[in-house]
A and B are shown apart, each in its own frame.
Chain A
Amino acid sequence: MAVDRRKVAVFGAAFVLRLLLICLFPSLPDLLTGRVEVSTPVNSFKRLQEGLYLYTRDVSPYDGGVFHQAPLLLPLFSLLPDVTTNPVPTAIFYFLVDLLNAHALATISASGQSVQSRLHSAMRKHIRWDGTSVAAWFLFNPFTIATCLARSTSVLTTSGILFAVSSAVSGNSLNAMLALGFASYLSLYPALLFVPLALLCYDQRSQNSAQAPNTALFILQHGAILSGGIAGLLGLSVLITGNFWEFMTATYGFHLLVPDLTPNVGLWWYFFIEMFDSFREFFLGVFWLHLASYVGGLTARLRRQPLFIITSLLGVFAVFKPYPSISDASLFFALLPLYRHLFPLMRYTFFAISALLYSSLLGPAFYHLWIYAGSGNANFFYAITLVWSLGLSILLADVIFAALRDEWEQDHPERKGEEVKQV
């Protein structure tokens, strides 16, 4: 089959490209692992190694306050050979995770959920890419490649989210909730995707069955499945670490309270460095609420396109979550090609893409000036992260605008123009 051969070619090429990169530049993975743009305290492979070292020597992995990732990663990674002597198996594990993510993306694309859902049908559904192209966009995105080579554990969260969505669009809502539970267990913030994902499952269910299920009951059931999945994973974690509160405070407490202000591409670190101590708790609350408040608003506004709610929320998370890295941006970029039909409606693509390119090139340079050359200060890097966030927000706002416009055109096929509330 021609299509299958294309897919195999894309996947194979992506695999070979990654393999070539680590063979030609053996120091590249370690270099990328140390970059603040890629590795944050909650997904760094170095910190995972530290936790792994303590874990294999029967010390609590959270002793020393370096490791902040979910405990279930430890037995998983302890199966792989030691990365210092034999890095290739670990790298290949990450390549395979990437390919699986791409496969999930292809599944999502193939379902056509992005253009045609229960309550919505896009105006320009002929303008679209097939699953293989979407997967290729994901696999050959430099941000994805960098994340993969840096062996950041965010790729596992990404898989959780993508599998949740792909299971949801194929009507398997149980798997969707379990995968979302896995992602939430790893990184906490994917739990915010529960409402749109449940809506997606609900739409699928009511489309495929004769009568629509009871909404409240459906949401409750799926909430219970999600909580059950998370509780199961937490139970396993307790078996591994033996100390519930220690690992809860070291992982989720760390996500929530943001004690490590190592620079990253997000907006939190600089703000909380400058913050008066007595207001710290308050602004932690403000930032988290700001992040969470988008869920309600976007869900209400874009009720007809649940998959698009997830996409735009992922964009919001890439900008506003406490420890963002380029892997979050790469996830957002991975879902954008599903909305190829919205591209003609977007207005600021040039500006957004320029801002993103500008900041991805200048960011490392300014970071070098600040940390290594000593000829710049923290404001240099922070300014660049602001530009990065600005670029992402413009892109996000633009794509939301395009989606609303598309909806509006569907309602009023003869007229154009729609008010967009951008907060």
Chain B
Amino acid sequence: MTSKTGDHESPRTLATSKATDLKASAQRVPPPETPEAIQTRFRVIAAFWAVIIFLGFPIWWKTTSIYRAHLPIQDMADWADGKTCRPVFPLEIHVAAPTMQLPESQHLVRTTQHALDDLNDFAAHHLRLKLTNDTGASTAQGSEYNTNVAGNMVDDGPDTALTVRVVSQEGLATPRSELRADTTQLDIFYPPSQVPIPSSSNPPLSVFIAEELQRLYSEEKATIAHILSGDSSGRDSESISRRLRRSMKYADTYHLSFSLFTPGSAPSSWDIEAAVQDYLSPLLHAFGPISNFTIDTQVQLYATFSPMAPPPLYDEDESAWTLKKEDLSAFINAAEWPLNPSIGNGPTLNFILYVPDPSQSPMIVKENHASSWIVPQWGGVFLLNPPLEQAAKSGGQTNPAHITQESLRPAFMTFSHQLLTLLGTPTTPASLPLRLQSLIRVRAATLLLSASSTMGSLARLTESLPSIPIPATVASSVSTTLSHLSSTCSHLRDGRFGAALASARIAETEAERSFFEKSMVGQVYFPDEHKVAVYLPLLGPIGVPLLVSLMKELKRLVAGWKARRRSSS
């Protein structure tokens, strides 16, 4: 023991020796440490270690422990793998046959259902016929559709997708169908001779109705099949994926921006508020269950083309200025026109009304004489060629200073159409309510899948990075998402598509919120090895002398204990 401390002290002894001691110092051993000195040293070391153990370790534990809320990892992975929910789309179709006897109509429904089931090759999406004998049903169904759209999701029965009215009409050789553009009613007119007789198993009228219905829903069916399978094989998948590419990604809120651009000083005002109110609001209202919209408008005068863009050419045959189809992509002067990519929360859809200069009016697209086109995932453009006015002074022709609501009508009809396309509405059938219903189903399927796969990604992320924190808010978001996903699934199974979409929207929002939680992302790129680099530079220099002194002290204690045992035994 003594020799050990002697080794330790000798260099210092030499260095600090005074001249008076030099004669004896070279080989000298310092005096043995007094017990008090040993005790004092023990106390010093104990004081430092007491601070480390009683204050340092609790602080270390408290400040570096990572809070990981419990997540239902297995459930989340099951949702992502599609094990929990198999989305089905049972569409309920009411059949009203006011001109038929009850057994006849029942037979008709039964045989039509058979024919439909034979035609159907996609099990998840199927049509269910139901006989209603209420003759007033046609109008009632229309209004019921409206209430559903307005958010009345609480009724327990399935949404009625379509009402088929089977009416006999004299003077027809074959049955014929008529779909009204503004209702969810399909009228089937048949010659009275074709009333199905109960014995026939496959009456021509049933086959006709089944084919009509099949045709009506073929696009929606293909779209849903495309979304659910995720692959691009199949008959219509080329056109469907093209349509999906053109449309915007789903968002809870879209921002619509209407801009009037003109290269001169006129027109400088437009009746935009009334136009939006009259031409667009009904459509936006109908979109209510799917998305919300915010609108802003602007007028930009002296908006010139980009210098890079090819200028319009005068076409003698058409007596109009023409733009080439391949040049349309350069039409929008993105550098100078103030078109914000995104205002507010959601993505922005831009609609541009371009009034050409009087010297270049009228302006059309060369190939097809169109005056409007759509920019995929961005918006639409409409070329408005107003009738020119004679200027009072110069005698030249000018644009009118004000664009009236009436002259905005064609532009807004086009914009509405473009909006439907950009939002991914199916192009068939012809009836707008049916198209919107179809969009609801498509969106519900999309959101269901997207929220499920977000859950799966989150589960994988938290599994693969054990060091990231999981705040309690994420856990609650996940549980909200999962519960809304399962309610979406059950709503879909029961055919309540509006309610299903409402749940799916909540699920998607919560899923995104949990996945992009800021405090989690912060540590994603912080592997465990980096902690060495964090701890060592400071704690190393402090820790090494403390550890060495602790070990020496322990050695001394052990040696002393052994010596005492030896002497006692």
Contacts and interface: CB of A to CB of B under 8 A. Distances in A.
Contacts, number: 92
Given A290-B542, A300-B40, A282 B52 contact: no
16 contacts: A271-B538, A278-B522, A278-B526, A279-B63, A285-B60, A289-B51, A293-B47, A296-B48, A299-B47, A300-B47, A405-B16, A417-B30, A419-B9, A420-B12, A421-B41, A423-B542
Given A286-B538, A299-B47, A301-B41, 17 more contacts: A271-B538, A278-B523, A285-B59, A289-B55, A289-B59, A293-B51, A293-B52, A296-B48, A297-B48, A300-B44, A300-B46, A300-B47, A301-B44, A303-B40, A412-B31, A415-B30, A416-B21
Contacts of A276: 526, 534
B546 interface: yes
Contact of A417 (B16, B56, B60, B549): B16
Contacts of A4: none
B59 to A, nearest CB: 4
Nearest to A415: B31
Chain A: interface size category? 20 to 34
B83 interface: no
A416 B526 contact: no
A289 B53 CA distance: 11
A286 B60 CA distance: 8
A393 B9 CA distance: 22
Contacts of B56: 285-286, 289
Contacts of A416: 13, 16-18, 21
Interface in A272-292: 276-279, 281-286, 289-290, 292
Interface in A239-297: 271, 276-279, 281-286, 289-290, 292-293, 296-297
Nearest to B546: A423
B429 to A, nearest CB: 56
B369 interface: no
A423 B63 contact: no
Interface residues of B, number: 40
Interface in B2-25: 5, 8-9, 12-13, 15-18, 21
B34 interface: yes
Interface in A300-357: 300-301, 303, 347
Contact of B9 (A286, A303, A412, A417): A417
Q: Which of B18, B55, B59, B526 has the most CB of A within 10 A?
A: B59
A58 interface: no
B245 interface: no
B154 interface: no
A332 B122 CA distance: 87
- Report the 10 A-B pairs with minimum CB-CB distance, sorted nearest first: A296-B47, A285-B59, A417-B13, A281-B63, A300-B43, A282-B63, A293-B51, A300-B44, A297-B47, A297-B44
Contact of A282 (B17, B21, B59): B59
B567 interface: no
A347 B16 contact: yes
A415 B20 CA distance: 10
Interface string B112-148: 0000000000000000000000000000000000000
A324 B191 CA distance: 101
Contacts of A405: 16
Contacts of B43: 300-301
Contacts of B46: 300
B60 A282 contact: yes
Nearest to B20: A416
Contacts of B539: 286
Contacts of B63: 279, 281-282, 284-285
Q: Which of B5, B44, B56 has the most CB of A within 10 A?
A: B44
B50 interface: yes
Contacts of A421: 41, 44, 549
Interface in B514-557: 522-523, 526, 534, 538-539, 542, 545-546, 549
Interface in A166-180: none
A292 B52 CA distance: 10
A193 to B, nearest CB: 16
Contacts of A281: 62-63
Contacts of B8: 419
A338 B50 CA distance: 32
Contacts of B34: 411
B64 interface: yes
B534 A301 contact: no
B93 to A, nearest CB: 58
A282 B64 contact: yes
A269 to B, nearest CB: 15
A419 B38 CA distance: 12
Interface string A389-423: 00000000000000001000001100111111101
Contacts of A292: 51, 55
A296 B49 CA distance: 10
Nearest to B43: A300
A423 B30 CA distance: 23
A417 B538 contact: no
A405 B31 CA distance: 14
A405 B18 CA distance: 12
Nearest to B56: A289
Given A277-B522, A278-B526, A417-B30, A283 B50 contact: no
A6 B209 CA distance: 122
B302 to A, nearest CB: 42
B51 A296 contact: yes
Contacts of A297: 44, 47-48
Contacts of A299: 47
Given A289-B55, A300-B44, A300-B47, A419 B538 contact: no
B545 A423 contact: yes
A420 B545 CA distance: 12
A289 B89 CA distance: 65
B63 to A, nearest CB: 4
Contacts of B41: 301, 421
A254 to B, nearest CB: 19
Contacts of A412: 31
A279 B534 contact: yes
Nearest to B533: A276
